[in-house]
Structure 1
Amino acid sequence: MSDSITLTEQELVTLTGYKVASKQLRELHRAGFARARIGSTGRVVLERDHYRAVCAGQAQAERPRVRPVLRAA
């Protein structure tokens, strides 16, 4: 692994088994990497520190906070 702030594209492919960003993101979230996201370039962004913390058992997956959709009557 390199020392960059985020995992490289190749590292993400190796980690998830996918090249498509949406599939990578789904697999990362399933594995507990809650802070993984799609960046402005359309590629997955996963911070190396978060990756290491989850792998070491120091970070727990967070459930996304979703607000219910309120519809006008």
Structure 2
Amino acid sequence: MATSLTLSKEELRDLTGYEQPSKQLAELHRRGFHRAYIGRHGLVLERAHYEAVCQGATEKAKPKVRPIIRTPAHA
């Protein structure tokens, strides 16, 4: 049997202990699954992200780019 790209509704329920997508999402985010989101047809958690987080992989935070604001020289 082929494995789907996303976790099933049953897998998400078993993983979080919740039926309601908003509660599932909050629980997943609390556990470090920050790429989970609520889509058109319910909660989405990519299997690759799930497996990576479970194996201890973390995404490196991108540095925040701050704009440089300069005042005009002729002002």
* TM-score normalised by L of structure 1: 0.76
Choose 1 or 2 for highest CA Rg. Answer: 2
Which ranges of 4 or more aligned residues in structure 1 deviate by more than 4 Å? none
Q: What is the percentage of aligned positions where both structures have the same residue?
A: 55
Unaligned 5+ runs, structure 1: 63-73
For residue 43 of structure 2, what is the aligned residue in structure 1?
A: 44
- Matched residue count: 61
For residue 55 of structure 2, what is the aligned residue in structure 1?
A: 56
Give the alignment's Cα RMSD to 1 decimal: 2.0
Q: Indicate if the aligned counterparts of 1:54 and 1:60 stay in contact, CA closer than 8 A.
A: no
Unaligned 5+ runs, structure 2: 62-75
Distance in 2 (CA, whole Å) between partners of 1:35 and 1:25 is 10
Q: Indicate if the aligned counterparts of 1:6 and 1:46 stay in contact, CA closer than 8 A.
A: yes
Residue 6 of structure 2 aligns to a residue whose secondary structure is coil
* TM-score normalised by L of structure 2: 0.74
Q: Indicate if the aligned counterparts of 1:34 and 1:61 stay in contact, CA closer than 8 A.
A: no
